[in-house]
Amino acid sequence: MSLLSAIKSALAGEKPQEEFSSSKTAANRLRILLINDRAGVNSEDVLPQLRVEIIEVLKKYISIDSIDDLQIKYENSDDTHMIEMSVSLDADSYHRLNPNSLAKPDPKA
């Protein structure tokens, strides 16, 4: 803790903040991993079920022929979790989602 931080804490009547040692950082990361594990976030059953549910929602708006039209990739690092989705669209679905794609270019422009 810097001297300035200690002075600010003392003037504000706050308890001085402790610096995080590598052991405290590791313990915090382990706690996050355990929470995710207990919540089932890393479970292999989650992504297939997620894919099925997303397909059902997408079918309300676009044409999807197969479950293979939706690719889901899950990545995690120490403090970040990311789900990336990629959906294959046929021309009709693309134009339905992008109405401006049907507009013909103005030859004068």
In a domain, 67, yes or no: yes
In a domain, 55, yes or no: yes
pLDDT at residue number 65? 77
**pLDDT exceeds 60 at position 35:** yes
How far is the C-alpha of 48 from the C-alpha of 44, rounded, in Å?
A: 8
Range of the domain at 95: 21-102
How far is the C-alpha of 43 from the C-alpha of 93, rounded, in Å?
A: 32
In a domain, 39, yes or no: yes
How far is the C-alpha of 66 from the C-alpha of 55, rounded, in Å?
A: 9
> Does the pTM of the predicted model rise above 0.75?
no
In a domain, 3, yes or no: no
In a domain, 108, yes or no: no
Question: What's the pLDDT tens digit per position in 43-94?
Answer: 566 777 777 888 888 888 888 777 778 888 877 777 777 788 888 878 887 7
For the chain, how many residues are written?
Answer: 109
